Structure 1
Amino acid sequence: MKKILLSSLYAVKRKLSAVKVWFGLRLGLIKTIQILPYKGFGNTHEIYFLGRVQRDRGIGFSTISDSRWRNFVKMYKRFATWELPGLRVKAKFQGVEQIVTTDDEGYFEVRLRNEDGWQLANYWNQVELVLLDNPLRDAELVKAHNPVFIPYKDCDFGVISDIDDTIVPTGATRVFEMLKTTFFGNAHTRLPFEAVSEFYQALHRGSDDIDSNPFFYVSSSPWNLYDFLTEFLETHQIPKGPLMLRDLGLSREQLFAGSHWEHKLLQVEMIFEIESNLSFILIGDSGQHDAEIYLQVIKDYPGRVKMVYIRHINARDEEKMLKIQTQMKHLGVEMMLIKDTLEAAQDALQKGWIQESGIKDILIEQQKHGE
């Protein structure tokens, strides 16, 4: 009965979306279309990323002086999407091409593979994207370029980090607080936890002081916030990297998107599969099952996790966190519960993963906040 109901509701949703797009095209409400690619990653033979084709709402970048109303309008535009299904997109990199078709929500998935191996001279490489089907008459060719990170040399480890309440305080465990900060703030007004930028930069540089250790950000935030989160990372000088977010809408199988646990575990394990030559440092918080998810990853990929840092934001979870900590220890992985970023950085320095200059940068940042 539940499946029949969901199938019926989903069919109604798609019909309404199709009608909206039909009227939007004929009434001139959709004037421009964009390919919105999401940063990808790969290895020496494979590249993976997602993207979306939708109406270009012209959101643009934010400024520190933007009003709360302007922030709200931009956030509304991010969620009031006009997705375009059934359109073909061609991806091309070093002579290898793939044509994919957008799904019911306008998303597409690209998996480029070169059995002979990519010719690489940089960690970040550009994949060319072209929209082959444009429903707008006499429109210019829609193109985009998507940066993908390929760790082809000099990478000591990768870092996978949560975002909400790990990098930035959001009140993810308090729904009203989270909605308020999301809809009325912007990338400049939202501030990360103290010294996160300096610590992540130190991990990115590693022990050899080369910006080579890749970062991956896995969050339960919706894809609608992709440009917002990307701008946030750039504004606060946090190492760029692929963001693995999720779709929060009604689907054929469920009324809402899957659980935080299911989504995050799937994304982390996909990263482990593609980046099979890397070991990882995992960073999260105690508010949304990150420790439990990382424990499962350790079980599924023995020997691949170097360390787990968990920002301890909820004292009520103390007993549960200590139990998980013990389980990880039995599997040969240390989990450290941290109250501030400096604790994690000092541990990473002791283990030889970052340079002492990283600690100095963190202390300088703390002094600024203490003044």
Structure 2
Amino acid sequence: MVKPVLARIAHPVEKLFDRVFLRREPERVVIDPYLGYATPEEILLRGRVLTSLRRTTPSPEASWWVNLRQMAGLFFTREVSERTIRVGEATAVSDEEGYFTLHLPRGDAAPGWFAAEAEIDGGESATLEALVVGDAPFLVISDIDDTVMETGAYSLVRNLWTSLTGNALTRHVFPDAVALMKGFEAAGAPIFFVSSSPWNLHYFLRRIFERHGLPKAPVFLRDLGISRTQFISGTHGDHKGAAIDSLLAAHPGVPVMLVGDTGQHDPKVYLAAAERHPGRIVRVILREPGKGADKRDRARIAALEDRGIKVDHGPSYDGFSAALPD
């Protein structure tokens, strides 16, 4: 009950701030493109309308203070609502936080990356991309924090320090995670990433992933904005569970592997997903950072195994194959 009450208080305050300090309607706007995905019927192109794009200029020698200022700058965006975005005959209107999703008929789109040029009223066009999955042996849905990239998410202080004082050249990506993801890619499995990080970091994360050779993949991030009914968009588990549900619905009948860690309640989230989708999740792979799995996580791992789901877990992914269980 606390978050809806906070939302009712904070939302009008935020709107008043916008009217007083940002009351001028922007003359030109831009699209911040996000990687989308497809369902059997549609291609979903995603993005956000802003007054300008925020990007960092990383240097390996940059001080923590320079990195902090640049990372903080990614969050000082001005979102633009009620702008119409078009791709052919398909249109979408940006919401109060600037987000939009264009729904295009899938038609005979070939498997792979679909690209289309999106036009926007009073702004620059942008290329939007979406992953169209064809026949796939299985689907991979992976966490990011302490799964693929070291953040120390199991410790709030460590997580904030790592996230805000590093840059795209200094952030540590686990080599074993890169090897695992490349193995999935070689097996023909499409990959999707889910994280509680905000959408402001979408381009930042893409740069890191590209630098380390991770497969190109859609990312599901989190809206930290304030709406009329929500003070920050749910919990970590709610966000990750909703993304898993959306991806399973978008790829009916395809077996699913879930990759994560024990530092941010992934066993709890993955067990709940397995209970909601009996028979769909066939394997779970978990890194055990920090002190490793606690008593509750060990119980959830056992519960996953009791459902016939193969669970691989340990301090690293070394030795874990990127294949369906026998």
- Aligned CA distance change for structure 1 residues 309 and 118 (closer, same or farther; 3 Å): same
Cα deviation for residue 62 of structure 1 reads: 3.0
Cα deviation for residue 71 of structure 1 reads: 2.4
Cα deviation for residue 31 of structure 1 reads: 7.3
Q: Deviations over 1:273-308 (max 9, x none)?
A: 011142111001111111111111112222211210
Cα deviation for residue 227 of structure 1 reads: 1.1
Q: Secondary structure at the match of 2:320?
A: helix
Conserved in 2, the CA contact under 8 Å of 1:57 and 1:77? no
Using the TM superposition, name which of 223-232 and 12-21 deviates more.
Answer: 12-21
The higher radius of gyration belongs to 1
Q: Deviations over 1:305-353 (max 9, x none)?
A: 12101111254643222211221122221222221121323xx46947x
1:77 aligns with 2:73: yes
Using the TM superposition, name which of 77-86 and 324-333 deviates more.
Answer: 324-333
For the residues of structure 1 that align with 2:208 and 2:27, how far apart are their CA atoms?
28
Q: Secondary structure at the match of 1:7?
A: helix
For the residues of structure 1 that align with 2:302 and 2:54, how far apart are their CA atoms?
50
Q: Which amino acid aligns with 1:6?
A: A
Structure 1-normalised TM-score? 0.81
1:145 aligns with 2:121: no
| Cross-structure match for 1:14 | 15
- Of 46, 57, 62, the match for 2:58: 62
Q: Deviations over 1:196-243 (max 9, x none)?
A: 21221011111xxxxx42110001111111111111111111111111
In the TM superposition, 1:109-258 aligns within 5 A as: 109-114=101-106, 117-120=107-110, 122-132=111-121, 134=122, 141-153=123-135, 155-206=136-187, 212-258=188-234
Q: Deviations over 1:169-218 (max 9, x none)?
A: 11112222212211221121001123221221011111xxxxx4211000
Q: Which amino acid aligns with 1:50?
A: R
Q: Secondary structure at the match of 2:318?
A: helix
Cα deviation for residue 151 of structure 1 reads: 1.1
Q: Secondary structure at the match of 2:319?
A: helix
- Greater share of helix residues, 1 or 2? 1
- Of 284, 290, 298, the match for 1:308: 284
Cα deviation for residue 67 of structure 1 reads: 4.2
Structure 2-normalised TM-score? 0.91
1:260 aligns with 2:236: yes
Q: Secondary structure at the match of 1:329?
A: helix
Q: Deviations over 1:134-169 (max 9, x none)?
A: 2xxxxxx5111111111123x211111000111111
For the residues of structure 2 that align with 1:317 and 1:201, how far apart are their CA atoms?
26
Q: Secondary structure at the match of 1:217?
A: strand
- Aligned CA distance change for structure 1 residues 31 and 187 (closer, same or farther; 3 Å): farther
For the residues of structure 2 that align with 1:112 and 1:350, how far apart are their CA atoms?
32
Using the TM superposition, name which of 104-113 and 217-226 deviates more.
Answer: 104-113
Conserved in 1, the CA contact under 8 Å of 2:54 and 2:74? no
Q: Deviations over 1:77-113 (max 9, x none)?
A: 2101111111111134xxxx32111111111122223
For the residues of structure 2 that align with 1:297 and 1:189, how far apart are their CA atoms?
34
Q: Secondary structure at the match of 1:74?
A: helix
Q: Secondary structure at the match of 2:175?
A: coil
| Cross-structure match for 1:209 | none
Q: Secondary structure at the match of 2:160?
A: helix
Conserved in 2, the CA contact under 8 Å of 1:44 and 1:152? no
Q: Secondary structure at the match of 1:343?
A: coil
Cα deviation for residue 4 of structure 1 reads: 6.3
Give the CA RMSD over aligned residues.
2.3
- Of 97, 104, 112, the match for 1:105: 97
Gaps of 5+ in 2: none
Q: Which amino acid aligns with 2:284?
A: V
Q: Secondary structure at the match of 1:276?
A: coil
Q: Deviations over 1:95-133 (max 9, x none)?
A: xx321111111111222234xx2231x50110321112x
- Aligned CA distance change for structure 1 residues 61 and 247 (closer, same or farther; 3 Å): same
Using the TM superposition, name which of 326-335 and 316-325 deviates more.
Answer: 316-325
- Aligned CA distance change for structure 1 residues 261 and 179 (closer, same or farther; 3 Å): same
Percentage of pairs with the same residue: 30
Cα deviation for residue 66 of structure 1 reads: 4.0
For the residues of structure 1 that align with 2:270 and 2:236, how far apart are their CA atoms?
13
For the residues of structure 1 that align with 2:251 and 2:15, how far apart are their CA atoms?
36
What stretches of structure 1 move > 4 A for 4+ residues in a row?
1-5, 349-352
